[in-house]
């Protein structure tokens, strides 16, 4: 890739872009505004870049199962699912790699998608997360750029380490996730042997109108197991579908995988004074401040009958939030609320939610009609507008979520200003054993050895700021 003279970025209509680093929000921590046409254009265009496989998370595997409530969290949420211990619901889970295409190998170094659809009696609840508690960026305006850097060089059509490290070295907020990705946990041994996380800050709310911020954790009950780079490379050559095969085979043999579901709870007011930005996707909440609370157990016990119909057409949306569940001002989450449904409408059609794998297990009453590939009765002759005089479904204010109090001027706030992108990455490094540190440094050195020296030096500066030993060992490994 060659450097060229500076050009002014524009929208598709040729309008100059003033800020391509920060979404338009109400205050520094406030929600993203729909007035941010630049963000909307970028997300909408990005969702339509490939046909027909998913842009990200294209390669995956899925299974059905059951979620059972084992801990009482009814004080935090009005959701009927959590009204008493012992309640349960059917669910569907899809695991995936992020950057690889449909034919790629399962055992590459990459985060894993961990998407859960709970078919509750009040509608589908989708918890769409990863196997890591953080992510590379905190503002969705940079998502398109991040994924482009992880995909293929536009000239050669090849994966390119220079593209990846160039982006990461210019985005210090990525350091926490990069440290996890290149650690021993960067390549899970199987989908059954990895944790899942909602990653974002979500919310719960109860009958009293009280809101709580929440982090979701899904801890494998099979134990964490990982692959070294050498093991992963050998398996990729022998069986590119290793993780997909393992999940199907385990369930067929009755070795049903289980995860313990836990949460961290933060009272709504705490967010205003907590030392860590509570809605920053690159940060975790220390357990000493907000300990894990037991919620339930999920078990996968049935494989799909048809891969395309049930796994490829499964569609998950963070915006699927039944009464008692809510979102947060997390900038990445706010954009995902819009973007996921938009991607499904493009990829599998406007009526994707009525496909069997996505269809709620409770009654559906809506005024949405028609559209490409309408394959059910289309509500027959029932009334298709509201208000009406013919007993059509009515909105009900009892399901209204408590108001979210926001303040601040609408502006594009620099998400890097005053933000410590190094402490948590350094803390993670210092928690590692000698063997884990050696694996981390070795994996990074192998990935960076072909990268231009100026990018190597820029990235090593970030490692140094997280921990001097971290930076010194990578620099030594690269001969710098």
9 versus 75: the higher-pLDDT residue is 75
277 versus 406: the higher-pLDDT residue is 277
Tally of CA atoms within 13 A in the half-sphere of 14 that contains its CB: 0
Give the count of domains, the chain. 1
Query: Would residue 32 count as lying in a domain?
Result: no
pLDDT in the model for residue 4: 57
DSSP tally for the chain: helices H, then strands E? 12, 12
Which residue carries 């996380």 as its tokens? 197
Question: 63: which residues sit within 8 A by CB, 6+ positions away?
Answer: 92, 93, 247, 248, 251, 300, 301, 302, 303, 304
Query: Would residue 100 count as lying in a domain?
Result: yes
**Residues 228-239: what's their mean pLDDT?**
96
Which residue among the candidates 38, 47, 57, 462 is catalytic per the annotation?
A: 57
DSSP annotation of 188: B
341-375 pLDDT per residue, tens: 999 998 988 899 999 999 999 989 988 899 888 88
Which residue among the candidates 130, 131, 195, 443 is catalytic per the annotation?
A: 130
Query: Would residue 78 count as lying in a domain?
Result: yes
Separation in Å, CA 260 to CA 115, 196, 224: 15, 10, 13
259 phi, psi to nearest 5 deg: -135, 140
pLDDT in the model for residue 19: 87
Q: Is the pLDDT of residue 258 over 50?
A: yes
- Provide the CATH number for the domain around residue 224: 2.40.180.10
Query: Would residue 378 count as lying in a domain?
Result: no
pLDDT in the model for residue 478: 98
Separation in Å, CA 105 to CA 102, 240, 245, 353: 9, 4, 12, 29
**Residues 364-390: what's their mean pLDDT?**
90
Two tokens at 56?
């990200």
Query: Would residue 299 count as lying in a domain?
Result: yes
- Say whether 57 is catalytic: yes
pLDDT in the model for residue 35: 75
Separation in Å, CA 228 to CA 110, 185, 445: 13, 9, 14
Query: Would residue 392 count as lying in a domain?
Result: no
Q: Report the chain's mean pLDDT, rounded to a whole number.
A: 93
Determine the structural domain holding residue 253 and report its residue range. 52-133+192-362
Beta strands in 372-453, from DSSP E residues, in sequence order: 410-412
Two tokens at 89?
């619901």
Sign of torsion over alpha carbons 234, 236, 239, 241 = positive
Q: Is the pLDDT of residue 51 over 60?
A: no
**Residues 122-129: what's their mean pLDDT?**
96
Question: Which of 113, 466, 102, 158 has its CA nearest to residue 308?
Answer: 102
**Does the bond joining 6 to the residue before it have cis omega, within 30 degrees of 0?**
no
Q: How far is 453 from 480, CA to CA, in rounded Å?
A: 9
Collapse the DSSP code of 46 into the 3-class scheme (helix H, G, I; strand E, B; otherwise coil) and give the result: helix
Query: Would residue 301 count as lying in a domain?
Result: yes
- Say whether 87 is catalytic: no
Number of neighbouring beta carbons within 10 Å of residue 360: 18
143-197 pLDDT per residue, tens: 999 999 999 999 999 999 999 999 999 999 999 999 999 999 999 999 999 999 9
pLDDT in the model for residue 10: 75
- Cα three-residue angle 329-401-365, rounded to 5 degrees: 115
pLDDT in the model for residue 72: 98
Collapse the DSSP code of 117 into the 3-class scheme (helix H, G, I; strand E, B; otherwise coil) and give the result: strand
Query: Would residue 223 count as lying in a domain?
Result: yes
Give the predicted TM-score (pTM) of the model: 0.91
Q: Is the pLDDT of residue 286 over 50?
A: yes
**Cβ 8 vs Cβ 384: under 8 Å:** no
- Confidence class for position 1, pLDDT limits 50, 70, 90: low
pLDDT in the model for residue 84: 97
């Amino acid at each position: 890739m060659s450097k060229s003279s500076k050009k002014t970025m524009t929208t598709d209509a040729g309008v100059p872009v003033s800020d391509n680093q920060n979404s338009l929000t109400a205050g520094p921590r406030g929600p993203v505004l729909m007035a941010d046409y630049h963000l909307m254009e970028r997300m909408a265009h990005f969702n339509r870049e490939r046909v027909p496989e998913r842009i990200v998370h294209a390669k995956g595997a899925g299974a059905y199962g059951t979620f059972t409530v084992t801990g009482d969290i009814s004080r935090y949420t009005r959701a009927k699912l959590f009204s008493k211990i012992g309640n349960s619901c059917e669910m569907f889970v899809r695991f995936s790699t992020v950057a690889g295409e449909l034919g790629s190998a399962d055992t590459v170094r990459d985060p894993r998608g961990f998407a859960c659809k709970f078919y509750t009696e009040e509608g589908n609840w989708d918890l769409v997360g990863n196997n890591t508690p953080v992510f590379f960026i905190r503002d969705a305006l940079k998502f398109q750029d991040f994924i482009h850097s992880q995909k293929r060089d536009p000239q050669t059509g090849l994966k390119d380490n220079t593209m990846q490290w160039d982006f990461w070295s210019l985005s210090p907020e990525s350091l926490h996730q990069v440290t996890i990705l290149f650690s021993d946990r960067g390549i899970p041994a199987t989908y059954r042997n990895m944790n899942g996380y909602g990653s974002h800050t979500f919310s719960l709310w109860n009958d009293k109108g009280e809101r709580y911020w929440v982090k979701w954790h899904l801890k494998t009950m099979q134990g964490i197991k990982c692959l070294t780079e050498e093991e992963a490379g050998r398996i990729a050559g022998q069986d590119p579908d290793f993780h997909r095969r393992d999940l199907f085979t385990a369930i067929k043999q009755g070795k049903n995988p289980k995860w313990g579901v836990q949460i961290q709870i933060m009272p709504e007011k705490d967010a205003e004074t907590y030392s860590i930005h509570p809605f920053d996707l690159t940060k975790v909440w220390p357990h000493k401040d907000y300990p894990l609370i037991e919620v339930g157990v999920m078990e996968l016990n049935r494989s799909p009958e048809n891969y395309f119909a049930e796994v490829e057409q499964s569609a998950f949306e963070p915006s699927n939030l039944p009464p008692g569940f809510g979102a947060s001002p997390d900038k990445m989450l706010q954009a995902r609320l819009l973007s996921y449904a938009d991607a499904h409408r493009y990829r599998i059609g406007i009526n994707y939610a009525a496909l069997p794998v996505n269809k709620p297990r409770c009654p559906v009453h809506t005024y949405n009609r028609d559209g490409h590939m309408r394959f059910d009765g289309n509500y027959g002759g029932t009334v298709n507008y509201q208000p009406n005089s013919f007993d059509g479904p009515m909105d009900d204010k009892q399901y209204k979520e408590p108001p979210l109090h926001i303040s601040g001027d609408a502006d594009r706030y620099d998400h890097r200003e005053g933000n410590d992108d190094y402490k948590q990455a350094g803390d993670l490094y210092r928690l590692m054993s000698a063997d884990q540190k050696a694996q981390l440094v070795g994996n990074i050195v192998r990935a960076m050895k072909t990268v231009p020296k100026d990018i190597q030096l820029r990235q090593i500066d970030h490692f140094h700021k997280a921990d001097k030993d971290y930076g010194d060992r990578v620099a030594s490994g690269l001969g710098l």
